[in-house]
Amino acid sequence: MCQLTRSLVLILAVVVGTARAALPPGYAGSDTCKICHEDIYNGLAKTPHHQLAADAKRGWQGRECEACHGPGQAHTEGPSADNIQNPAKLSAAAADKICLTCHLNQPTQVGRLESSHAHNQISCTACHKVHASEPLVVRKADAVNKQCGSCHLNAWAQFQRPFHHKLPEGDMTCVDCHNPHGTIRPAMLQSFAANDPGCFKCHGDKRGPFTFEHAPVRFEGCQACHEPHGSANPRMLTRADVRFVCLECHANLPNSPVRVMGVVPPSFHDLRSPVYQNCTVCHQKIHGSHVDRNLLK
Amino acid sequence: MKTLAAILALAAALSAQDTPPPAPATEPVLTGWVDLGYRWDTGIGGSLDTYRSIINLGSGPKFLGTDFTLADPKHRWFDTIQVRADSWGDEPSSSLHVEAKKSGVYDFNADYRDFAYFNFLPSYADPLFGQGIVLNEQSFDTRRKIAALSLDIRPGHWWTPYFGWDHDSSSGTGATVFVTDGNNYPVPNTLRDSTDLYRGGVRFEKPHFHVTLEEGGTVFKSDQSLFQNPGSTNYGNFSTPVFGQTLYLNSLLADYGIGGSSAYSKGLLTANATSWLDIFGQFLYSQPNSNVHYQQTDAGNLYLQSQILFYSSEQTLINAASQQPHTTGSLGAEIRPMKRLRIVQAWLTDRLHDAGSAASAQTLISAGTSIPLSSLIASTLVSNYNQESVDILYDASSKLTMRGGYRYVWGNAEYAFLPPAGLVSSDQEQLRQNVGLGSVTYRPAQKISVTGEVEGASSSGVYFRTSLYNYQKVRAQVHYQPLPSLSVSGDFTLLDNQNPLAGTNYDYSSYQESVSLYWAPQGSKIFDIQGTYTRSDLKSNIGYLDPGDLSQQVSRYRDNANTGSALIDLNWPKGKRFAPKLAMGGSFFISSGSRPTSYYQPEMKLWLPFGKHVSWFSEWRYYGYGEAFTLYEGFRTHLVTTGVRFTP
């Protein structure tokens, strides 16, 4: 039966092949692939990759399967996993090379080499399912979050804390804040208005510029004081009591030999008084003030 | 045999070419669903304000969601239009997303989100709690609306113009504090701000290079007001008289008139110069600026500490302006000198220079006498950040990749005020950090992957006491899929950071370890299970000076947490006409340490099809939150939602 099947494949390959324009040596053509892999072919036909079948300029007309799997003539003559390229079995770098043959010179790739995904051998196909059993690019919030959360288990756990950005609810996605293809910012954070942190896309009132800046916001970003994924502390702060968020930095005497920024507040702040236990009661413009150098208004 | 059947079917099709194929659809085809329903809550046990700060779901009729696609087989005006919407009808968050595209002609995306942003936790900021007054003096009840439109023209062509608009606005009310010398007064305020971003650019994509050029700008507006109506007396947070006089506020009107704008330029480049060299780079420049006209009128018995002066009313005008040129550039390359060797070299610089000034004119009325005061303060803030890195990646085999890298980070930061006043009017610091990296990725089989990564750094200068100084990071990930239907993952991260400088003595340690399981036997025909459990621990000790007496103290923060989430889907075996589905699961978070907290969210959902186009569903959720030190802020509630899904 196996021999019969092989013979019929060959016959049909010839029939299909002669009915089409000549293929480069070694290539079998997608119609031949479809004979045995119809489900996969039909799945591919629903994805943007199917445009390879029709677009002569890209050079893969009629052999879109082989754009990724390599020449398939030998595989049609002797179907075996050993004589066809399977990107899923290649190293991440080799698999990415196939994708980047077409996709390297696109804006999404500008930050790729600096991304932790590239550094850690997370290939394109880890997230992008080419054969359409799942979408090529997931768009729905719960699908995006589920995909990221399947590897970033710790981050997903942080979102289960009571004070969090609304990802578990499906109101936001991981890619609202992170660009999985890499950016110039740490943790692959998105940017806003060219080179400001992506946080300002939704928190525009914190962007400034302020006449009187609070230095850590500019030098270390929001995560200097906030746990952006989630926290047990109100306002997603890094500490349970606001005063410690502040005092852990503001604890140097003026002209101290310790060379870090942030001097101790004037001594009239008596921490036993409840008024002074949350610094932002008075220093309410903690992200920066337009009118007061002490961030009081 | 299956292959043979396919061949024979294809052969039959080829031999019967004169048989006309079935007529393709010519009219737009609509697929998708719409969910409508009603939600009840059983009443909020405990703190309604905390419930609203964290959950905020309410009772009533709801448009729970829709997801549909309209496809035009004739591709006249569009190929497809996809619409997704979630949670409309007085919900704490609502969203709408529309995608319309026509291949090679346009690609249009619209996104809209509306968030109710409420926060009222008395434990957060209530100086008067001891007097029986429950008030979060930094609370708010606002709605934030976020919208984005983008249009790509000729997508897929070698040059593609594109345009976009992003909008973010917030409005609502809140409570804040009016701060004066000697006392501060909780007052209501109104909040309103908006940011609009406009952008346009063109992408050039050729086989060997890509360039994107974009120009854009933002417009910002913020109008916050603080007020207290005349005729009332506000005695503030301090009841202690100053020089025998009680301070109070009779009226207040303070308006922030803030406007701003920015223009930015963006240039992106990728190129593969040769078969062994890829180049990438970015140039980003923005120059946001702000202008402020602040007006304040207040009356009462108020106090000016610098002149030991009591006054009965005040008028203040402040005109301020600031600008912040910000330049960022990066350049890098991936070099492949050998088949298995990749060298990634990257350089980054980020330079932000902020300059501002504020001129104030103040008139105090004291004992019938008008006292004018004025000031002019200038400020600067500079941050120059640079980073140079090299990574070497070696594919020892198709199963094993090793990476080693080095990163040098340097920069300087400074800020200053003129004229000088207070404890510190200028400060500057250097950043110097050497970072070493290493990682291994091992994939002995397609179904197993193991990744280990370490990073260690040594610093000779950082900006802040809590910055990463001498640190070690470790991360390990394992993924194993023993069966097509079963996969198991593990994740471990560790961060240790020490700053041994005298007076700081910062010792920070945190780790998280997680395991997850996904089991879907027989392709989820009967059931599937997914679950994740995470154990985390954080310890932080850092010295600080008590601002009351300048004594040395240690700030200790602890957070030991157990977090889990799980979901079980049960499907009635196929063959039944109206097969129900049941899903149950939820999540929990239990922590001890500086803020012992418990947070439970179990849920259950039942689906029952009533035919081909209609199915009924019902969902139960429970939310329970408790915090050991502020028990009065706990809450618990049951929510039941029932509804109908219509499928065309």
The secondary structure of B107-147 as a DSSP string is EEEEEEEEEEEEE--TTTS-TTGGGT----TT-EEEEEEEE
Residues in chain B: 648
pLDDT at B575: 60
**Chain B residues in contact with A210 (beta carbon < 8 A):** 290, 322, 354, 356
Q: Return the CA Rg of chain B.
A: 31
Residue labelled with tokens 């330079």: B351
CA distances from A166 to A158, A159, A275, B56 (A): 12, 8, 31, 12
Asked whether the beta carbons of residue B358 and residue A290 sit closer than 8 angstroms, the reply is yes
**Chain B residues in contact with A261 (beta carbon < 8 A):** 413, 427, 429, 463-464
Amino acid at B296: Q
Q: CA–CA separation, B78 vs B448, rounded Å?
A: 43
Asked whether the beta carbons of residue B54 and residue A162 sit closer than 8 angstroms, the reply is yes
**Chain B residues in contact with A216 (beta carbon < 8 A):** 463-464
B17-65, pLDDT tens digit by residue? Answer: 444 445 556 677 899 999 999 999 999 999 999 999 999 999 999 999 9
Asked whether the beta carbons of residue B286 and residue A93 sit closer than 8 angstroms, the reply is no
- Looking at the predicted structure, is the pLDDT value of residue B647 above 60? yes
Q: Give the residue numbers spanning the domain of B249.
A: 104-261
CA distances from A163 to A146, A230, B559 (A): 20, 5, 15
> How is B340-369 classified by DSSP, letter by letter?
TEEEEEEEEEEEEEEEEEEEEEEEEEETTE
CB nearest to B548's CB, from A12, A242, A270: A270
Q: CA–CA separation, A150 vs A128, rounded Å?
A: 14
Enumerate long-range contacts of B27-31, CB under 8 Å, 24 or more apart: B27/B73, B28/B70, B28/B71, B28/B72, B28/B73, B29/B70, B29/B71, B29/B72, B29/B73, B30/B68, B30/B69, B30/B70, B30/B648, B31/B68, B31/B69, B31/B71, B31/B648
Asked whether the beta carbons of residue B377 and residue A163 sit closer than 8 angstroms, the reply is no
Asked whether the beta carbons of residue A224 and residue B429 sit closer than 8 angstroms, the reply is no
CA distances from A232 to A235, B534, B560, B590, B593 (A): 9, 15, 11, 10, 11
Strand extents, DSSP E, B72-103: 80-88, 93-102
Mean pLDDT for chain B overall? 92
- Asked, for residue B241, whether it belongs to a domain, the answer is yes
B524-566, pLDDT tens digit by residue? Answer: 888 999 999 999 999 999 999 998 888 999 999 999 999 999 9
Amino acid at A296: L
Q: What percent of chain B has pLDDT over 90?
A: 82
Q: What percent of chain B has pLDDT over 70?
A: 95
pLDDT at B194: 97
**Chain B residues in contact with A266 (beta carbon < 8 A):** 422-423, 547
Asked whether the beta carbons of residue B322 and residue A139 sit closer than 8 angstroms, the reply is no
Asked whether the beta carbons of residue A290 and residue B126 sit closer than 8 angstroms, the reply is no
Asked whether the beta carbons of residue B464 and residue A261 sit closer than 8 angstroms, the reply is yes
Confidence of residue B11 (pLDDT cuts 50, 70, 90): very low
Asked whether the beta carbons of residue A211 and residue B322 sit closer than 8 angstroms, the reply is yes
CA distances from A199 to A221, B22, B168, B191, B192 (A): 9, 53, 12, 19, 18
Q: Contact A192/A201 with Cβ under 8 angstroms?
A: yes
Smallest CA–CA distance, residue B38 to chain A, in Å, is 18
Report the candidate in B438, B426, B429 with the shortest Cα–Cα distance to residue B472.
B438
Q: Based on the structure, what is the number of domains in chain B?
A: 1
Residue B363: CB atoms within 10 Å: 16
Q: Which residues contact A72 (CB under 8 A, 6 or more apart)?
A: A27, A28, A32, A33, A65, A66, A84
Task: Pick from B47, B80, B177 the residue to mutate for testing the A interface (most A CBs within 10 Å).
Answer: B177
Residue A32 host element (H or E) = helix A30-36
Asked whether the beta carbons of residue B588 and residue A160 sit closer than 8 angstroms, the reply is yes
Q: CA–CA separation, A208 vs B259, rounded Å?
A: 10
Asked whether the beta carbons of residue B137 and residue A281 sit closer than 8 angstroms, the reply is yes
Q: Contact B492/B511 with Cβ under 8 angstroms?
A: yes
Q: Return the CA Rg of chain A.
A: 28
Residue B5 host element (H or E) = helix B2-15
- DSSP bridge partners of B568: B529, B584
Smallest CA–CA distance, residue B575 to chain A, in Å, is 24
CB nearest to A209's CB, from B11, B324, B550: B324
pLDDT at B5: 44
Q: CA–CA separation, B465 vs B459, rounded Å?
A: 12
Q: Which residues contact B114 (CB under 8 A, 6 or more apart)?
A: B93, B94, B95, B143, B144, B145, B146
Smallest CA–CA distance, residue A247 to chain B, in Å, is 7
Q: Contact A188/A115 with Cβ under 8 angstroms?
A: yes
For CA atoms B115, B116, B120, B125, give the dihedral sign.
positive
Burial of B456 (0-12, 13-18, 19+ CB in 10 A): middle
Confidence of residue B390 (pLDDT cuts 50, 70, 90): very high
Asked whether the beta carbons of residue B86 and residue A150 sit closer than 8 angstroms, the reply is no
Cα A113-A115-A121 angle, rounded to 5 deg = 85
CB nearest to A232's CB, from B127, B327, B597: B597
Local structure of B303: helix, strand or coil = strand
Smallest CA–CA distance, residue B132 to chain A, in Å, is 13
Cα A29-A35-A41 angle, rounded to 5 deg = 75
Question: In chain B, which residue's Cα lies nearest the Cα of A283?
Answer: B179
Residue B75: left if φ>0, alpha if ψ -120 to 50, beta else—which one? Answer: left
CB nearest to A209's CB, from B4, B124, B290: B290
CA distances from A203 to A180, B30, B93, B220, B289 (A): 21, 37, 16, 12, 17
> How is B225-258 classified by DSSP, letter by letter?
EEEE-TT--B--S--S-BTTB--EEEEEEEEEEE
Asked whether the beta carbons of residue B284 and residue A94 sit closer than 8 angstroms, the reply is no
Q: CA–CA separation, B395 vs B439, rounded Å?
A: 12
CA distances from B291 to A146, B294, B322, B323 (A): 43, 10, 7, 9
pLDDT at B611: 84
Confidence of residue B185 (pLDDT cuts 50, 70, 90): very high
CA distances from A29 to A62, A100, B4, B113 (A): 6, 22, 19, 46
Q: CA–CA separation, A267 vs A73, rounded Å?
A: 82
A162-184, pLDDT tens digit by residue? Answer: 999 999 999 999 999 999 999 98
- Looking at the predicted structure, is the pLDDT value of residue B612 above 50? yes
Nearest-10 Cα torsion for B365, B367, B370, B376: -60
- The tokens describing B224, both together, are 């916050």
Q: CA–CA separation, B428 vs B463, rounded Å?
A: 8
Confidence of residue B1 (pLDDT cuts 50, 70, 90): very low
Terminal-residue alpha carbon distance, chain A:
85
CB nearest to A196's CB, from B87, B128, B286: B286
Q: Which residues contact B133 (CB under 8 A, 6 or more apart)?
A: B126
Task: Pick from B2, B124, B627 the residue to mutate for testing the A interface (most A CBs within 10 Å).
Answer: B124
**Chain A residues in contact with B322 (beta carbon < 8 A):** 208-211, 290
Q: CA–CA separation, A50 vs A53, rounded Å?
A: 6
Q: CA–CA separation, B379 vs B362, rounded Å?
A: 20
Residue labelled with tokens 């445009």: A51
- Asked, for residue B168, whether it belongs to a domain, the answer is yes
Asked whether the beta carbons of residue B503 and residue A121 sit closer than 8 angstroms, the reply is no
Asked whether the beta carbons of residue B595 and residue A233 sit closer than 8 angstroms, the reply is yes
CB nearest to A202's CB, from B144, B356, B360: B144
Asked whether the beta carbons of residue B403 and residue A119 sit closer than 8 angstroms, the reply is yes
Lowest average pLDDT, out of A13-17, B324-328, B428-432, B508-512, goes to: A13-17
CB nearest to B398's CB, from A94, A149, A240: A94
Asked whether the beta carbons of residue A232 and residue B195 sit closer than 8 angstroms, the reply is no
Smallest CA–CA distance, residue A179 to chain B, in Å, is 15
Mean pLDDT for chain A overall? 87
B119-164, pLDDT tens digit by residue? Answer: 999 889 988 887 888 889 999 999 999 999 999 999 989 999 999 9
